[in-house]
Amino acid sequence: MGWIKFGPDDATTARITSLAEQIAHHSHLYYNAAAPEISDAEFDVLWDELKSLDPEHPQLRRIGAPIAPGSVKVEHRFPMRSLDKATGDDEVAHFVAETTARGRRFVAQPKLDGSALSLEYRRGRLTRAATRGSGERGEDVTSNALRIPNIPDKLSWEGDCHVRGEVVMHLDVFFEKYSKIAPNPRNLAAGSLRQKNIESGKGDASDLTFHAYDVRFVPNEDKHPDSPEALHFENDSESIAWLRSIGITPAEEVVIVGTNDDDTTQALLDETKRWTENRNKAPWEIDGVVFKLDNLAKRELLGETAHHPRWALAWKFPPEEATSVLLDIDWQTGRTGAVTPVARVAPVVVSGVTVENTTLHNVGEVERLGISIGDKVRVVRRGDVIPKIIETMGPAQPNDIKDRFHANGEEFTGKLPPSSPPKIPTECPECSTELSLDGAFLRCSNLSCPARLARSILYWCRALEMDGIGEKLVDQLCEADLVKTIPDLYRLNSEQIQGLERMAEKSATNVMKQLDGTRELPLNIFLSALGLPGIGPELATAFAGEICTIDALISLGEDDLERLVAIEGVGDTVAYSLMKGIAYRSEMVEDFNQILTITEVAKTKAPSGPLVGFSFCITGTLTRPRKEIALKTKMAGGKVVSAVSGKLDYLVAGENAGSKLDKARRLGVTVLNEKEWEEMLQP
């Protein structure tokens, strides 16, 4: 009896399975582990054979081995920066003045309020998709990105590039399917993108849309050998048109060209007005307008800060407001010992989000607002920023509270509290240590205060990206007295963790694995994870580049002040914060030094150039943007400061220089015009 064969024979089926497995294995080594075992050419042979045997094989759609979204971290080859923000007309005018010395052409796009995504294409195929994360490292979300209908898994250009954009959810779809499970479309877009599987109920990525706003090309020396060379466009508007031509959907753009600063500013402001009028017509949420210099060479010249590029500005819609009633104020001790007031208000919806807790920043702010419990208050929420009480409108009336509703339609049943002035605590709400006033802040000075400890541990774990150690586990560890200082984490064993409620062997092993993975770390990361007051990751890196070793950090003293303040962006205050913070924690730092391997960081190169050792302040109208002058001064080794003092070496003054010029003359500081400054740049 003969068989009619519909599919491949057994040998071919086995070969297909084997090829798919090999491709998954080598892709994982290449993309996830960054440790390839075979050459690109050998990989392509496997790929082409699978394609010839089974062109529709799912492994051809997914280059990496299937990985659960969120479980693998991705180092962004091109960091994903943030944007400088503006809300007022004068900030737009300032941006124009600072950027347009050689032409005035901008690309304007709506600022889409979603979740940023980077798509990596290699030989025109989507090989990986990652969230923005910290900007330097994001999470691999390839499998979810592949479900987004307008993300092509193959471009019509077969080269290597990274396409960046925003993933948004159509408002229609959001209100039809998801408004009960998520506060707004942005949260849902982020959740759908990062969820481990669709059944998690966080939203289906196939309901999302991608809009590109940037493309970067992999330099020729790193591209796949068979890929075409990196492309170079003169203007961003050309790269947007090109993206469209290869199958990507860019955010809609207009190009604005002005003839002088005033009409350029006006044209940008007109664009903000156009979007203000059309905001509600857009099918997805937008929270402002992004302006970017169109000319890419000029972008290079202006450069970027660690936070944002200098050639772009995000103008944000004015904040949305609502009124509510202040029900109570809770005081919370944070990681640095600052005791901050959290206002509990009757639930109120502000720009799509139900607000019940808002920050009052510090005791100074409570006093400044003159607020009482039971007051009617104005609450403002600006885009992604935490809601804030900006004003009290005096004692609330019963109707003020009756009209408030939860987002899900439930009526608020709480009662209007009797009017009473806020009680400012004198003792730490956690450990009862007497509080002291430090500027506008109340502070608990007890380093082993349980609230400070738990928050410092969490900060440490987050800084070292130990995702398996969350708030709940940290609280359990502290409550069980297993951890009394951060270094105690490294003395834990698996049995102790398993002894905690709801900690199975698997989770305990995971926690131990994460801790073990951070037993060796460079000084900059160590310093940043300590979370010293006023010292964030950027300053920690700057300090580490000067201090270099843990031993030098431990022995910091007054003598070091001079070299610390010589670091770009470091003044007396932060230098003291560092020294005080370390001295305060000397025992813990010594303990860490015993238990961890804290590796040396290379010394930041000393500046070189003709301006080394001189400080400059720049003022007035010059022929170039001030930022360009500042940048060139720094590149020539000079230090740029923002204020005139007796210590200043040179004031570079343009036309209409005002009070700074007067002050410089009074103090006998040498004043340079632009030409004299230019001459100083010559080596």
H/E stretch holding 40 reads helix 40-53
Task: Give me the least distance between CB of 85 and ligand IVH, in Å please.
Answer: 7
Hey, which residues between 231 and 290 contact ligand IVH (CB under 6 A)? 251, 290
What are the DSSP calls for 518-581, one per residue? TSEEEHHHHHHHHT-TT--HHHHHHHHHHH-SHHHHHT--GGGHHHHHTSTT--HHHHHHHHHH
Q: Determine which residue in the list 103, 183, 228, 309 makes contact with ligand IVH, applying CB under 6 A.
A: 309
Task: Give me the least distance between CB of 101 and ligand IVH, in Å please.
Answer: 21
CB 454 within 8 A of CB 591: no
166 touches ligand IVH by CB under 6 A = yes
Task: Give me the least distance between CB of 118 and ligand IVH, in Å please.
Answer: 10
137 touches ligand IVH by CB under 6 A = no
Distance CA 477, CA 456 (A): 13
Size of the site for ligand IVH (CB under 6 A): 16
Task: Give me the least distance between CB of 276 and ligand IVH, in Å please.
Answer: 16
Q: Determine which residue in the list 72, 92, 112, 535 makes contact with ligand IVH, applying CB under 6 A.
A: 112
Q: Determine which residue in the list 65, 151, 188, 314 makes contact with ligand IVH, applying CB under 6 A.
A: 314
- Residue entry with tokens 């003054």: 653
Distance CA 515, CA 540 (A): 21
Please name which of 340, 356, 336 lies closest in space to residue 425, comparing C-alpha atoms.
340
What are the DSSP calls for 253-313, one per residue? -EEEE-SSHHHHHHHHHHHHHHHHHHGGGSSS-EEEEEEEESBHHHHHHH-B-SS-BTTEE
CB atoms within 10 A of CB 165: 24
Task: Give me the least distance between CB of 190 and ligand IVH, in Å please.
Answer: 11
Q: Determine which residue in the list 104, 111, 186, 223 makes contact with ligand IVH, applying CB under 6 A.
A: 111
Hey, which residues between 614 and 673 contact ligand IVH (CB under 6 A)? none
Nearer to ligand IVH, 119 or 530 (CB): 119
Task: Give me the least distance between CB of 320 and ligand IVH, in Å please.
Answer: 18
Dihedrals φ, ψ of 31, to 5°?
Answer: -90, -35
456 touches ligand IVH by CB under 6 A = no
Task: Give me the least distance between CB of 253 and ligand IVH, in Å please.
Answer: 8
Which is it for strands 375-381 and 320-333: parallel, antiparallel or unpaired? antiparallel
Nearer to ligand IVH, 77 or 580 (CB): 77
Nearer to ligand IVH, 115 or 446 (CB): 115
Hey, which residues between 356 and 375 contact ligand IVH (CB under 6 A)? none
Residue 148 DSSP SS3: coil
Task: Give me the least distance between CB of 201 and ligand IVH, in Å please.
Answer: 25
| Catalytic annotation, pick one of 5, 51, 111, 292 | 111
Q: Determine which residue in the list 82, 276, 494, 549 makes contact with ligand IVH, applying CB under 6 A.
A: 82
Task: Give me the least distance between CB of 111 and ligand IVH, in Å please.
Answer: 4
CB 202 within 8 A of CB 169: no
Of the candidate spans 61-69, 108-116, 317-325, 339-347, the one that interacts with ligand IVH by CB under 6 A turns out to be 108-116
Distance CA 156, CA 150 (A): 14
Nearer to ligand IVH, 254 or 342 (CB): 254
Distance CA 84, CA 318 (A): 15
Of the candidate spans 106-114, 479-487, 490-498, 504-512, the one that interacts with ligand IVH by CB under 6 A turns out to be 106-114
Sequence-separated (6 or more) residues with CB below 8 Å from residue 238: none
Of the candidate spans 109-117, 401-409, 593-601, 608-616, the one that interacts with ligand IVH by CB under 6 A turns out to be 109-117
Beta bridge mates, 211 = 166
Distance CA 534, CA 531 (A): 8
Q: Determine which residue in the list 31, 43, 210, 213 makes contact with ligand IVH, applying CB under 6 A.
A: 213
Beta bridge mates, 293 = 106
Alpha carbon distances (Å) from 511 to 171, 251, 626: 39, 42, 50
Residue 507 DSSP SS3: helix
Of the candidate spans 105-113, 398-406, 557-565, 589-597, the one that interacts with ligand IVH by CB under 6 A turns out to be 105-113
Beta bridge mates, 329 = 343
87 touches ligand IVH by CB under 6 A = no
Nearer to ligand IVH, 275 or 592 (CB): 275
Is 580 a residue of the active site?
no
Of the candidate spans 306-314, 436-444, 458-466, 543-551, the one that interacts with ligand IVH by CB under 6 A turns out to be 306-314
Beta bridge mates, 359 = 342, 388
Nearer to ligand IVH, 119 or 435 (CB): 119
H/E stretch holding 74 reads strand 73-75
Q: Mind telling me the catalytic residues?
A: 111
Name the site residues for ligand IVH (rule: CB under 6 A).
81-83, 109, 111-112, 116, 132, 166, 213-214, 251, 290, 309, 312, 314
